[in-house]
Amino acid sequence: MRAGKGEHGKPYPLTEEDHDDSAYRENGFNIFVSNNIALERSLPDIRHANCKHKMYLERLPNTSIIIPFHNEGWTSLLRTIHSIINRTPESLIAEIILVDDFSDRGKVQLIILYLILLSPT
């Protein structure tokens, strides 16, 4: 079983120093916490019991996944991408499209470089 802050959907233990309002104002969530949670964290399966045992067709069509973002906290965006890649059968993903809606924080190039390095050749 994996251990670490935020693993298994557990709350991140905040100290008084971690309660910085600017971390919330910039992103709508505490970016400090996001930056300290693993990109590939474990999460509990919270599906309804009927959904856990649902059977699907053997061959399903693939799909394009479109993620629009604007000045997104980069760790939350990367965690979203990691979750899609790690939790979706490869045969179901035709492509992952990131649509930058005119972000102006300057981290977009860093994200693009990271994703190029992450993608299979």
- Structure confidence by residue, pLDDT tens digits, 25-63: 777 888 888 888 888 888 898 999 999 998 888 899 999
Stated pTM of the model? 0.76
Which of 88-95's residues contact partners 24+ apart within 8 Å by CB, and which partners?
91/60, 91/62, 92/60, 92/62, 92/63, 93/62, 93/63, 93/65, 94/62, 94/63, 94/64, 95/64, 95/65
Query: Residue 64 carries which side chain, given as an amino acid letter?
Result: S
pLDDT of 84: 93
Q: CA 101 to CA 14: how far, in whole Å?
A: 32
